[in-house]
Amino acid sequence: MKGRTPRDLDAHCWVFAYGSNMDMPDLARWVREEGVIDDAPSQIRSATLLRHQLVWNYRSVARRGGAANIEPGPENLPGVVLEVTEALLHAIDRKEGPSYARAVHRVATPQGEIDAWAYRVIAERREATPIYPRQDYLEIMLRAARLHELPKAHISALENTPTLD
């Protein structure tokens, strides 16, 4: 996929969200508080990141505990794709900071497969043992997963994720 972008392939800029970026109030709060831009995704669709799984191997200073990450694996990870402007894409880059890098991944949607940006923690920031989230962060993910009607098995796995508090 070197050299390709979601825009090149789909005439849209898509971002796959699997953590707190699935939650539009949380994303909007961050954008507003940081004064980055006044923008929102023009579309939100359910999606599945192919051959990846959710892992808890990143310690977030801002979240005061673990934050979601992805790793290649045999499973497929439910989430959503956001159709974003270039300005919002760069705002999300800023939100994810130096700890996450984005790359193009294949994503399945009800409308068919597309390529979308997905954020993954850089190798230097990944930890060998699980770093579980705080309850408030997990609640953001659960609220979004329920709102977007992600699969019950995924919601159940989130509900059963250990927390630091």
pLDDT, block means (10 residues), the chain with 165 residues: 45 86 92 74 94 98 96 97 90 92 97 96 97 98 98 98 97
pLDDT at site 115: 95
Cα of first residue to Cα of last residue in the chain, in angstroms, is 41
For residue 3, how many C-alpha atoms fall within 13 Å in the half-sphere facing its CB? 0
pLDDT of residue 69: 98
**Cα–Cα dist 26/20, whole Å:** 7
**Domain extents for the chain?**
6-156
How do residues 61-96 score in pLDDT, each as one tens digit?
Answer: 999 999 999 999 999 999 999 999 888 898 899 999
Q: What integer pLDDT is reported at residue 39 of this predicted model?
A: 75
Q: Do residues 38 and 31 make contact, with C-beta atoms less than 8 angstroms apart?
A: yes
Q: Give the per-residue pLDDT at 1.
A: 36
CATH number of 6-156: 3.10.490.10
pLDDT of res. 5: 55
